[in-house]
Amino acid sequence: MPAAAFESLTLDAEGLPLHVRQRHPHGTPAVLFLHGWLDHSHGFDPLCEHLPEGWRTVLLDFRGMGQSGHAGPGAAYHLSDHLLDVEAALDGLALPSVHLVGHSLGGIVALAYAAARPERILSLTLIESLGPSGGPPEGALQRLRGFLDDARRPPNRKRYPTAEAAAERLRQANPTLSPEAALLFARHGTRQEPEGDVTFTFDPRHRRRFGQGFDEAQWLALEAAVTCPVQILRGSRGLSPS
């Protein structure tokens, strides 16, 4: 029997529309998946094929990525904003608690949210993610300068003739990405423009550097506040952090 289809929903995050997909809305357990930087919820589709039938599976598109709304003019994206996305998803779906799974950026957000709201997270699974590296204290000044410099540059939304061409661009940026995975990300992460070419759906402002970040001591304090069981998954192949 084929797996149940996902339904698409739009939730409200203080006026910003957030896109989520879910299946088995009355199932148990409830699991919320958080994707990586510049990605979207469809990146978990191959994994979802192997989940037990009947789990309440929720896939969130962070603000400014996937099919979720973009921040308004003059706004920026910060890590704490994505914690608001998680809370809006849980509240909007009337989920008092969930198992949380995050990949890359999604793992950073998941860990931070589990620290801040321990009563809402039953378990935490981090895929290729443990926390941001803020570097030494003297790096704070350069980070702030980089943030101001990036804010001067207008957003650049590149165009590609086809989704296949966009997939090839993804593989150029990450040669370890398989052709099948690249095409999955490109097909679900692009939209067709009136002229016929395609652009990625993520807000180009996500490429701007953060003006602030956690140092190691601060992040270790957050990790210490996590009370639920934690599972860390690291791949044996593919892109590996230095």
Q: Rounded to 5 degrees, what angle do the CA atoms 165, 166, 168 make? A: 65
The residue among 165, 149, 168 whose CA lies nearest residue 207 is 149
The residue among 123, 151, 137, 122 whose CA lies nearest residue 210 is 151
pLDDT band at 205 (very low <50, low <70, confident <90, very high): very high
User: Whole-model pTM?
Assistant: 0.94
Instruction: Say whether pLDDT at 130 is over 70.
Output: yes
Q: How far apart are the first and last CA of the chain?
A: 43
List residues bridging with 48 in a β-sheet.
none
**For position 239, what pLDDT does the model report?**
60
Instruction: Say whether pLDDT at 19 is over 80.
Output: yes
- Cis, bond preceding 29 (omega within 30 deg of 0): yes
Domains and CATH numbers, the chain: 7-135+214-233 (3.40.50.1820)
Phi-psi region of 73 (alpha: psi -120 to 50; beta: other; left: phi over 0): beta
pLDDT band at 108 (very low <50, low <70, confident <90, very high): very high
Based on C-alpha coordinates, what's the Rg of the chain? Answer: 18
Would you say 94 and 118 are in contact if contact means Cβ atoms under 8 Å apart?
no
The one-letter amino acid at 210: F
